[in-house]
Amino acid sequence: MRAIRIEEHGGPEVMRWTELPDPVPGPGEALVRLGVAGVNYMDVGARALGGAGWAAPVILGAEGMGRVTALGEGVTDLAVGDRVAWFYHPGSYAELLAVRADSLVKVPDEVPDEIAGGVLMQGLTANHLTTETYPVGPGDTALVHAAAGGVGQLLTQLVKARGGRVIGLLSREEKAPVAQEAGADHVLVHSGGGFEERVRELTGGRGADVAYDGGGTDTFLSSQASLRPHGVHAYYGPFMGVPTLRPTDLPNSILLTYPVVHHHVATREALLRRAGEVFDLVRHGRLTLRITGRYPLAEAARAHADIESRRTTGKLVLLP
């Protein structure tokens, strides 16, 4: 089989289309032939910086879908031929993968391959942020960073589905129609901080109830200043930088949280339930994944260059 592998960390140029031995499923694993791999900012961070589980040499990619071609010992709830998807399996930029069976979910017939391969990581993240991190309710106002991006568009749709209002933050004016199409009630264009006064104006001086912030250190303080007393700052952008602060720096008694999607699906039961919620939203037209870039798996470096340019909107996928 072939895969996208790196021997050292760096820019997209370190990514290599490499011939490797076919994997063999061990006990509790399923062999899956890749149908679609999703591209995420996590992949960019893993390539550039490494981190836990991503030390080079390593095959990149974490999200995807495919068909089961063989089963390891002890796997009883899957069958050869099943369409399955996963939100996190290191090494997903590969034609064949030996994946832990308990990390796979069956894909409903009504969900197309490209959607199934690209929706779970960002969809489960958006589900986590709008339910357990801050349960959005009718009348709540959410500040959504990168509202035209993959997570941002899904967050916007889920906030609206739960009766909330969205103030979308964008880095470029030309992305405004994308955020508005996803349902953003207001759009603010800022390349860094300094947007808190506009957020307060749009909320009658009260501030937003929650800030979903994947923008990094440049927007960190302004996100906090945009919140009402006891509002929630959900910071999920570690690959964009991790600020340091003292608890006494937090304004308005706000709550700061670093939500990790693995805690949302910590058990097999939770994974099946939450993935089912995401797929049901897709099936009923309440959640739309806007795929804006399709690349051959062999050209994954080009997808990385495009997503790092900040010119892309929506979801990028790789096709073997």
Q: Helix, strand, or coil here: 179?
A: helix
| pLDDT of 277 over the 70 cut | yes
Distance CA 22, CA 57 (A): 17
Give the strand pairing for 29-39 and 315-319. antiparallel
User: Strand order of the sheet with strand 58-59?
Assistant: 15-19, 2-6, 58-59
pLDDT in tens, 169-200: 998 899 999 999 999 999 999 878 899 999 99
Average pLDDT over residues 292-297: 96
Q: Helix, strand, or coil here: 121?
A: helix
Q: In degrees rounded to 5, what are phi and psi of residue 242?
A: -120, 110
Average pLDDT over residues 233-247: 79
Distance CA 289, CA 111 (A): 11
| pLDDT of 242 over the 90 cut | no
Q: Which one is predicted more confidently, 283 or 245?
A: 283
Q: Is 255 exposed, middle or buried (0-12, 13-18, 19+ CB in 10 A)?
A: middle
Give the strand pairing for 165-170 and 83-86. unpaired
Per the structure block, which two tokens stand in for 146?
A: 């990168």
Q: Tell me the CA distances in angstroms from 96 to 13, 37, 83, 119, 320, one per residue in order.
A: 23, 11, 14, 20, 10
| pLDDT of 286 over the 70 cut | yes
Confidence of residue 240 (pLDDT cuts 50, 70, 90): low
Average pLDDT over residues 61-82: 98
Neighbours of 126 (CB within 10 A): 27
Q: Helix, strand, or coil here: 60?
A: coil
- Give 8-37 as a DSSP string: S-SSGGGEEEEE-PPP---TTEEEEEEEEE
Ordered by where they begin, the domains of the chain are 2-120+289-319 (3.90.180.10), 138-258 (3.40.50.720)
Angle at 301 between CA 297 and CA 303, to 5 degrees: 75
Predicted pLDDT of residue 244? 82
| pLDDT of 239 over the 70 cut | no
